């Protein structure tokens, strides 16, 4: 397997512009002859689909939800970064780039990240022109706030629903192209396989989730925008239907999977309350702008939070990180929450929570001012927990939130299978070992609006694509494989439900491939995953059959893929004998308990090649070295 990053030469600031000049174009007459499949209709998918259709390509979109508008991008709360420097606080494209690459702990490509920062401003322009109702000042101009550890105010937001508003903007653009006949839209269709002909991506296999039929679709390029794989942990902030299946099936067809162990654990989520819990709810980290994080100094302290005087409160982030305080990056905040609860200082019924306290902010600014900023989040919290955060501190705990790893792509966002492009959270490209707040929306839209539409054209202009039909043997083989996979799961008829298996898998992952990892723990995890996976195929019970709407069948094959991915994540975490960003190996810490990178040996992207599962996952590591020409690698410090 050959992994060429295809980063253009030249100064960092000029790479993308130069590349755009060199990119080959497809003539307008020819564009309409080329079919492009976009899988997933979140920010990356909807924006890529609408932009490609505007250019004149024949686009088909597929999503598992009943409407393209419901993709999980919709749940992003906090905001989207851009280097507009409207507040005149010293921001620039360079600074946004630098913060992002540093925040990612130097495990991403310089050129990709710089391009992301460059595109950020155009995204805001585009969204505003679409009518996205961003927050505004009384002047009528756009408002910004500081977010997620940034020392400048560069985050644009639409109350606590920025993802929803940006997604509706992209979805509406997409529906405009549906109306124009340039996009054919297939909701409630799940991609089950990638069809590769002559080494190139030429189509997909889907299951119609309503009638159960297996369908074949051909194309000249496939753009995968299917999001992240956080649900391998069972409990996460992801939507219930978010899954790795589309990406994993591409991996099985030869696409390298990069940095699978890089998982972001978000520090501010509502704690777990019981076994029946089906998902975790994120509270936007904008709350950390005004809330103070603390636990009682004394693990035995059983007083109610408001009865604990100042001197008995341990504001651990403020004490340990005086300059960033409660605004340290997500990985640092999550790790510290785990540390204090491991020391027995956790609060609430389970002891797996810390306080996020607004008492001082309310005293300082008044209840109304706090309600104006966070009202909807406070209401959501109260609705779920039955506690009033205006009066008692919130209880929060880290939860799996975002996966930085994903399918490997080059600078053009093309995987190592020609014609298969991967955008948004589904690729590994821009966030390295940790993603900064308000950067996911930025990346999804940068990929979809401003990168993929050009790079797909560049590929198509040169690609030699044979004339095929969906009767080609590659389609037949892939369709048969898909049906067999479903039949196999339905035929087990064991005693344990899919949910029970998934919950057990999630617990292994959370305990051993979660916030802290160790060699010993990872080796145990790999054994446990294999044993549980074998049991899954012997003892799972999937109800009904494959000929109609059957959600538990959908879950079953997604969990089957999670079982394989889980092992790969543990293998990757074990290979990476260093700590970086969200990947904390207990063996590699500074004296202060911070992630200790090993740049000499691990400054690479790990890209894994699938070799089948036979009791164990067979996988081969390929390394893409990361060269840093323009930034100096430093130990992150938020002290």
Token output for 625: 């070295």
What one-character-per-residue DSSP string does 535-552 give?
HHHHHEE--S-TTS--HH
> How many other CB atoms are there within 10 angstroms of residue 94's CB atom?
16
Closest-CA residue to 249 (of 188, 187, 207): 207
- Residue 509 to residues 238, 261, 273, 529: CA-CA distances in angstroms? 16, 11, 19, 9
Give the binding range for another protein (CB under 8 A) out of 29-37, 260-268, 463-471, 542-550.
542-550
State the DSSP code for 371. Answer: H
Q: Is 278 in the site for another protein (CB under 8 A)?
A: yes
Residue 577 CA to residue 444 CA, distance in Å, equals 30
Q: Is 281 in the site for another protein (CB under 8 A)?
A: yes
User: Taking CB under 8 A as the rule, which mask of x and - marks residues 31-50 in contact with another protein?
Assistant: ----------------x--x
With binding defined as CB under 8 A, does residue 591 bind another protein?
A: no
Q: Name residues contacting another protein, limited to 151-190 (CB under 8 A).
A: 158-159, 161, 164-165, 168, 171-173, 175-176, 178-179, 185, 187
C-beta closer to another protein: residue 130 or 483: 130
Binder to another protein among 20, 23, 135, 352 (CB under 8 A)? 135
541 binds another protein (CB under 8 A): yes
Between residues 72 and 266, which has the closer beta carbon with respect to another protein? 72
**Residue 565: HSE in the Cβ half-sphere, 13 Å Cα cutoff:** 38
Out of 330, 517, 533, 636, pick the active-site residue: 330
Binding to another protein (CB under 8 A) within 410-449 occurs at 449
Pairing outcome for strands 516-517 and 80-81: unpaired
Q: Binding to another protein by residue 499, rule CB under 8 A?
A: yes
Q: Is 579 in the site for another protein (CB under 8 A)?
A: no
Return the residue matching tokens 């308000």.
Answer: 438
- 277 belongs to the binding site for another protein (CB under 8 A): yes
In this chain, which stretch among 6-14, 425-433, 549-557, 626-634 interacts with another protein, using CB under 8 A? 549-557
State the nearest-atom distance from the C-beta of 541 to another protein, in Å: 6
Q: Please tell me whether residue 501 binds another protein under the rule CB under 8 A.
A: no
**Beta carbon of residue 616, minimum distance to another protein (angstroms, whole number):** 30
Asked if 141 touches another protein (CB under 8 A), the answer is: yes
**Does the protein bind another protein through residue 208 (CB under 8 A)?**
no
Interface with another protein in residues 295-324 (CB under 8 A): none
Given the rule CB under 8 A, which of 327-335, 480-488, 494-502, 591-599 is the region that contacts another protein? 494-502
Among 19, 72, 95, 636, binds another protein (CB under 8 A): 72
- Residue 368 engages another protein in binding (rule: CB under 8 A): no
Nearest approach, Cβ of 550 to another protein (angstroms)? Answer: 8
Residues in binding contact with another protein, number by CB under 8 A:
80
CB of 632 to another protein, least distance (A): 33
Does position 122 interact with another protein (CB under 8 A)? The reply is: yes
Calculate the alpha carbon distances from 537 to 493, 534, 630 in Å: 10, 6, 50
Instruction: Kindly identify the residues of this chain, within the stretch 236-255, that bind another protein according to CB under 8 A.
Output: 239-241
Burial class (CB in 10 A: 0-12, 13-18, 19+), 593: middle
Q: Which is nearer to another protein, 310 or 386 (CB)?
A: 386
C-alpha distances in Å from residue 23, one per residue of 144, 261, 451, 482, 555: 35, 33, 11, 36, 41
Look up tokens 């799972």; give the residue.
Answer: 540
Catalytic annotation on 136?
no
342: enclosing H helix or E strand: helix 330-342
Residue bearing tokens 């950067």? 439
Say how far apart CA 400 and CA 566 lie, in whole Å: 14
Q: What is the spatial order of strands in the sheet that 214-218 belongs to?
A: 189-197, 200-208, 214-218
> Does residue 467 belong to the site contacting another protein (CB under 8 A)?
no
The residue from 125, 342, 343, 462 that contacts another protein (CB under 8 A) is 125
CB-count burial class (<10 Å; 0-12, 13-18, 19+) for 317: buried
Q: Of 164 and 427, which has the nearer Cβ to another protein?
A: 164
Contact yes or no for 586/515 (Cβ under 8 A): no
Q: Cβ distance 326 to 258 under 8 Å?
A: no
**Residues acting as catalytic residues:** 330
């Amino acid at each position: 397997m050959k992994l060429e990053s295809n980063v253009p030469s030249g100064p960092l600031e000029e790479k993308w512009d130069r590349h755009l000049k060199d990119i080959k174009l497809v003539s307008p007459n020819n564009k309409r002859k080329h079919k492009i499949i976009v899988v997933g209709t979140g920010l990356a998918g909807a924006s890529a689909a609408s932009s490609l259709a505007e250019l004149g390509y024949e686009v088909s979109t597929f999503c598992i939800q009943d409407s393209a508008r419901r993709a999980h991008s919709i749940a992003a709360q906090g905001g989207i970064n851009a280097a507009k420097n409207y507040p005149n606080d010293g921001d620039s494209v360079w600074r946004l780039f630098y913060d992002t690459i540093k925040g990612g702990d130097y495990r991403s490509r310089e050129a990709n990240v710089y391009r992301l920062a460059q595109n950020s401003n155009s995204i805001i322009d585009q969204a505003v022109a679409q009518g996205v109702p961003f927050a505004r000042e009384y002047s009528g101009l756009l408002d910004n706030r500081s977010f997620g550890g940034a020392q400048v105010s560069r985050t644009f937001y639409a109350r606590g629903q920025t993802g929803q508003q940006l997604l509706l903007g992209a979805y509406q653009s997409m529906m405009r192209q549906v109306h124009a006949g340039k996009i054919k839209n297939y909701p409630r269709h799940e991609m089950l396989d990638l069809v590769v002909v002559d080494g190139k991506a030429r189509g997909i296999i889907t299951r119609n989730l309503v009638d159960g039929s297996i369908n074949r679709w051909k194309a000249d390029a496939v753009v995968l925008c299917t999001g992240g794989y956080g649900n391998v942990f069972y409990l996460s902030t992801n939507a219930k239907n978010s899954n790795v299946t589309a990406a994993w099936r591409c991996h099985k067809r030869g696409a390298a999977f990069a940095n699978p162990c890089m998982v972001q654990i978000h520090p501010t989520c509502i704690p777990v309350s019981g076994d029946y819990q089906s998902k975790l709810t994120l509270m936007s980290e904008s709350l950390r702008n005004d809330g103070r994080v603390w636990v009682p100094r004394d693990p035995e302290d059983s007083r109610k939070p408001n009865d604990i005087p100042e001197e008995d409160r341990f504001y651990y982030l403020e004490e340990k990180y005086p300059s960033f305080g409660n605004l340290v990056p997500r990985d640092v905040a999550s790790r510290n929450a785990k540390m204090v609860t491991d020391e027995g200082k956790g609060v609430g019924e389970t002891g797996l929570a810390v306080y996020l306290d607004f008492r001082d902010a309310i005293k300082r600014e008044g209840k109304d001012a706090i309600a104006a900023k966070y009202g909807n989040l406070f209401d959501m919290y109260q609705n779920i927990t039955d506690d009033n955060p205006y009066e008692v501190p919130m209880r929060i705990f880290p939860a799996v939130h975002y996966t930085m790893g994903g399918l490997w792509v080059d600078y053009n966002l093309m995987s190592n299978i020609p014609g298969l492009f991967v955008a948004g959270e589904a690729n590994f490209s821009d966030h390295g070992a940790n993603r900064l707040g308000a950067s996911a929306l930025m990346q999804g839209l940068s990929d979809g609006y401003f990168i993929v539409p050009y790079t797909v054209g560049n590929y198509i202009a040169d690609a030699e694509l044979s004339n095929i039909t969906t009767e080609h043997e590659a389609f037949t083989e892939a369709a048969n494989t898909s049906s067999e996979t479903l039949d196999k799961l339905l035929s087990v008829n064991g005693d344990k439900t899919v949910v029970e298996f998934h919950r057990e898998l999630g617990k292994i992952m959370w305990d051993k491939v979660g916030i802290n990892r160790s060699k010993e723990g990872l080796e145990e995890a790999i054994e446990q995953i294999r044993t549980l996976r074998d049991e899954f195929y012997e003892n799972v019970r999937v109800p009904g059959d494959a000929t109609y709407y059957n959600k538990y069948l959908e879950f079953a094959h997604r969990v089957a893929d999670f079982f394989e991915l889980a092992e790969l994540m543990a293998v990757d975490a074990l290979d990476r004998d260093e700590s970086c960003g969200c990947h904390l190996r207990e063996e590699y810490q500074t004296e202060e308990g911070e992630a200790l990178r090993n740049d000499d040996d691990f400054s690479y992207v790990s890209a894994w090649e699938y070799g089948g599962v036979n009791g164990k996952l067979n996988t081969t590591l390929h390394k893409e070295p990361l060269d840093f020409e323009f930034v100096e690698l430093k130990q992150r410090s938020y002290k």
